[in-house]
């Protein structure tokens, strides 16, 4: 008997890019419809590197929401080489700021203000461990001599392992883990190491981006990897292991900036992530673990109650229709194409 219905606590998206201005206004509703809360990435220009800036940004997000929405943006601070201990204390004291994000300088979109020499931030990491403010890492080295497909593995050896040995009490999330090496490293750790997984890395390997023509809408960072890595990610996500949880990494860019000679990295998956994830979990015979991955594990990590509201996913014989693009003024943002039909439809917000 195939299962055709799943009732979930309202999911949380523990890694989300909402941008600002017109793009924020255009995209936020899709996340608010599918998720109760989201950890909001701070890589704006200029970066959200102070608590005051994070609280202002939070206000702009709330203002962009439909007035009936109960969606809660959970804010993060962008770590720079000028971040002070005082800022860390302020962030830890705020109920609205949940973590600090480490971008190695040059690793991804708007990471130029990020950290070049990690050792210079160790005193801040000690303070964060003391205050139990988690560190979220974009886990890729940026050394030009390291192949782009190896950057996560090398980050673990050169940056993460020494940091964890030095400050074992710091709680760390490897954001958007994309390799078997990353999954195994989390699984083998004794404590304080967690990982988010994206929708698109669970659905696609690098062939989807590179075979039969170059697909810029599948270009993201960390870049899609080979099939054995995708298999490891799927097994981690569907295992129920409390250390793995959803962070879609939905990262909207205007279509023309991706369809370009030097295209931007990022996949906009906020529109259809939940239907895609139900498909992945169904394929892995693990629908009973979907609630852990999307609603329980992440909430537990951040010390939050699991959302009381529910959503119902229903598998129908007709394909769920998603827009190919959404409009932002005269421009568009291209929606994630999972490449396979999605039969899971979502009944939003069943209030209890």
Interface positions with ligand NCD (CB under 6 A): 17, 43, 108-109, 138, 220-221, 249, 251, 265-266
Buried-state track 287-314, b at ≥16 Cβ within 10 A, e below 16: bebbbbbbbbbbbebbeeebbeebbebe
Q: Which is closer to ligand NCD, CB of 109 or CB of 192? A: 109
Q: Which of 20, 249, 324, 337 is catalytic?
A: 249
Q: Which is closer to ligand NCD, CB of 6 or CB of 107? A: 107
**Burial status of residue 214 (CB atoms within 10 A of its CB: 0-12, 13-18, 19 or more):** exposed
Q: Which is closer to ligand NCD, CB of 206 or CB of 345? A: 206
Buried-state track 150-184, b at ≥16 Cβ within 10 A, e below 16: ebbbbbbeebbeebbeebeebbbbbbbbbbbbbbe
* Neighbouring C-beta atoms of residue 70, cutoff 10 Å: 13
| Contact of residue 109 among ligand NCD, Zn ion, none (CB under 5-8 Å per partner type) | ligand NCD
Say whether residue 152 binds Zn ion (CB under 5 A): no
| Contact of residue 76 among Zn ion, ligand NCD, none (CB under 5-8 Å per partner type) | none
Shortest separation between residue 89's beta carbon and ligand NCD, angstroms:
26
Shortest separation between residue 109's beta carbon and ligand NCD, angstroms:
3
Cross-strand partners of 244: 195
Q: Which is closer to ligand NCD, CB of 127 or CB of 134? A: 134
Say whether residue 13 binds Zn ion (CB under 5 A): no
Query: By CB under 5 A, which span of 44-52, 92-100, 241-249, 326-334 interacts with Zn ion?
Result: 241-249
Say whether residue 140 binds Zn ion (CB under 5 A): no
Q: How far apart are the first and last CA of the chain?
A: 28
**249 catalytic residue (yes or no):** yes
Say whether residue 249 binds Zn ion (CB under 5 A): yes
Preceding peptide of 222 cis, ω within 30° = yes
Q: Which is closer to ligand NCD, CB of 8 or CB of 139? A: 139
162 to 44, 137, 166, 181, 300: CA distances (angstroms) = 29, 14, 6, 16, 26
Catalytic residues: 249
Name the residues that contact Zn ion, by CB under 5 A.
249
């Amino acid at each position: 008997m195939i299962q055709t219905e799943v009732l979930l606590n309202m999911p949380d998206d523990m890694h989300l890019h909402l941008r600002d201005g017109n793009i924020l206004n255009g995209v936020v509703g899709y996340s608010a419809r599918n998720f109760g809360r989201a950890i909001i990435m701070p890589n704006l220009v200029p970066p959200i590197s102070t608590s005051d800036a994070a609280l202002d940004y939070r206000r702009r997000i709330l203002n962009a929401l439909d007035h009936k929405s109960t969606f809660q943006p959970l804010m993060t601070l962008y770590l720079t080489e000028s971040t002070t201990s005082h800022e860390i204390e302020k962030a830890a004291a705020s109920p609205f700021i949940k973590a600090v994000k480490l971008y190695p300088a040059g690793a991804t979109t708007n990471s130029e203000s990020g950290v070049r020499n990690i050792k210079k931030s160790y005193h801040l990491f000690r303070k964060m461990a003391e205050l139990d403010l988690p560190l979220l890492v974009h886990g890729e080295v940026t050394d030009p001599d390291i192949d782009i497909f190896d950057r996560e593995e090398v980050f673990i050896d050169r940056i993460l392992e020494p940091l964890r040995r030095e400050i074992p009490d710091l709680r760390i999330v490897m954001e958007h883990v994309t390799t078997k090496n990353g999954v195994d490293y989390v699984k083998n750790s004794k404590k304080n190491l967690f990982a988010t997984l994206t929708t698109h890395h669970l659905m696609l390997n690098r062939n989807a981006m590179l075979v039969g023509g170059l697909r810029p809408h599948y270009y993201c960072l960390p870049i899609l990897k080979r099939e054995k890595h995708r298999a490891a990610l799927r097994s981690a996500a569907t295992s129920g292991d409390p250390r793995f949880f959803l962070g879609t990494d939905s990262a909207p860019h205007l279509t023309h900036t991706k369809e370009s000679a030097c295209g931007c990295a990022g996949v906009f998956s906020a529109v259809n992530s939940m239907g895609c994830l139900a498909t992945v979990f169904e394929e892995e015979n693990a629908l009973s673990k979907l609630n852990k991955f999307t609603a329980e594990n992440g909430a537990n990590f951040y010390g939050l109650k699991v959302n009381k509201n529910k959503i119902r996913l229903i598998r129908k014989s007709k394909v769920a229709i998603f827009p190919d693009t959404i409009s932002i003024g005269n421009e568009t943002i291209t929606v994630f194409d999972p490449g396979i039909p999605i039969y899971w439809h979502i009944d939003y917000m069943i209030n209890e």
